[in-house]
Amino acid sequence: MTEHQIHGYIAEGYGRVADAFRRNFERQGEIGAAVAVFDGDRPVVDIWGGRRDATRRLPWERDTVAPVFSSTKGVAALVLAILVSQGQLDYDQPVAKYWPEFAAHGKGEVTVRQLIDHQVGLHILHGRLTLEELLDLDRVAELLAVQRPGWTPGTKQGYHPVSIGLFVNELVRRTDRAGRSLRHVIAEDIAGPLAVDFTLGLPEDLAADRIVRLVRTSGADLRYERNVPWNQALPALLRRGPLFRALANPDLGMPEDFVRPEIMRVELPGSNGVGSARALARVYAAGLRGEPPIDAEVRARLADPGPVPAPDAVLWTPTRFHLGFRKSSPVFPFGSRDHRAYGTPGMGGSLGFADPATGLSFAYVPNRLGLTLNGDIRCHRVARAIFG
């Protein structure tokens, strides 16, 4: 097997995707990765290559899975869309309608939309949360409810890298008919019916040789990081600024630690999803078709271009959020040029999204951790081979 041999399936007309994927190994320092594209319910790209460990001894296999970090947020947003379709939740109603305790400290009028679109200033949690405490979802809910907004809700936006998943999880627990948390909803209503490898955290019965070993970019690999927003990276390296503070509580360690059992046993619906590119693309493909049940009206709302990009108080770059998803922006372009595509990128380089204009869904999952939160050049290079 040659170093950059690609495995899997490519439908006729999608050869450029494989070419771009191979160039990531040749020019961008890729170690191991997978990419998948669905056209409706038909897989047109399902390829993988490279190695799943830092020593480059273990091959990336068809059933290899990896942490996808904030790409998890898109799956959580699809769960909210299901609840809206069921009439259990309304984007434009106050969060306190479903979670009365949330009204504390002036949050009584905060809408679901404002919360999930990062407009409330709850990115920095006050009151230390340990990994052990994260196992007690009632305790987590108590701490979340008493948080104070960082600004007047709705007046600006700022990315909530970790906390938003905790808020969404409690909102799901309050509105799901069975009172389930996101881990169980994803397993029972999405991953199970679709027969895909996607979990929130790691199931105990997952074979250890199926999950990648994450590799932090450092040293010589820095030459591949040509799209790092240094206005984010430098304050984080200096351990200051809103992004650093937002990532500091709960303390989850370094990104490469996300395969540790103590991190993967808790529910972090904005951070610790684990899956394959095939699974992530399949989930978005199902969402485009309304399977799991997302009705036509809600699907049309997800496909709305959303607001214009606005300055982000945490990422210090223009961002566009819409109903829990990221939308295309100048610093994070993806999908067709009509800006209807919706999805989320993950720290390290993963990306999943659906494109209503073409009916295509896309996912990229690597194990070398890039240094940008806005979508890595590797996934962008492959996506551009499809969308231009």
pLDDT by residue for the chain (388 residues), tens digit each? 345 789 999 999 999 999 999 999 999 999 999 999 999 999 999 999 999 998 888 999 999 999 999 999 999 999 999 999 999 999 999 999 999 999 999 999 999 999 999 999 999 999 999 999 999 999 999 999 999 999 999 999 999 999 999 999 999 999 999 999 999 999 999 999 999 999 999 988 888 889 999 998 776 676 677 666 666 666 666 677 899 899 999 999 888 999 999 999 999 999 999 999 999 999 999 999 999 999 999 999 999 999 999 999 999 889 999 999 999 988 889 999 999 999 999 988 999 999 999 999 999 999 999 877 777 889 999 999 999 7
CATH of domain 6-76+185-387: 3.40.710.10
pLDDT computed for residue 2 by the predictor: 46
Residues forming a β-bridge with 211 = 65
Instruction: Give the C-alpha separation, 371 to 25, whole Å.
Output: 17
In what helix (H) or strand (E) does residue 199 lie, and over which residues does it extend? strand 198-200
Bridge partners, 321 (sequence order): 326
What burial class does residue 203 get, using C-beta atoms within 10 Å of its C-beta: 0-12 exposed, 13-18 middle, 19+ buried?
Answer: exposed
Spatial separation of the C-alpha atoms in residues 341 and 32, rounded to whole Å:
26
Q: Count Cα atoms within 13 angstroms, Cβ side, for 264.
A: 23
- Give the position of tokens 């009705």: 295
Q: Are strands 215-216 and 368-369 parallel, antiparallel or unpaired?
A: parallel
Question: What are the residue boundaries of the structural domains of the chain, listed by start?
Answer: 6-76+185-387
Backbone φ and ψ for 262, nearest 5 degrees, come out as -65, -25
- In 3-state terms the chain splits into helix, strand, coil percentages (rounded to 5) of 35, 20, 45
DSSP-assigned beta bridge partners for residue 67: 274
- HSE-CB for 81 with a 13 A CA cutoff: 32
Amino acid at site 325: F
Cα 27 from Cα 374, distance rounded (Å): 20
d(CA 106, CA 148): 8
Contact status, residue 348 vs residue 337, Cβ threshold 8 Å: no
| Interatomic CA distance for residues 135 and 113, integer angstroms | 27
pLDDT score, position 217 = 78
Q: What is the DSSP string of 8-42?
A: EEE-TT-HHHHHHHHHHHHHS---EEEEEEEETTE
Q: Which helix (H) or strand (E) holds 140?
A: helix 137-145
93, 99 contact by CB (below 8 A): no
State the pTM of this model: 0.95
* pLDDT for residue 22: 97
- Note the pLDDT of residue 1: 38
The CA–CA distances, whole Å, from 93 to 22, 201, 208 equal 47, 30, 43
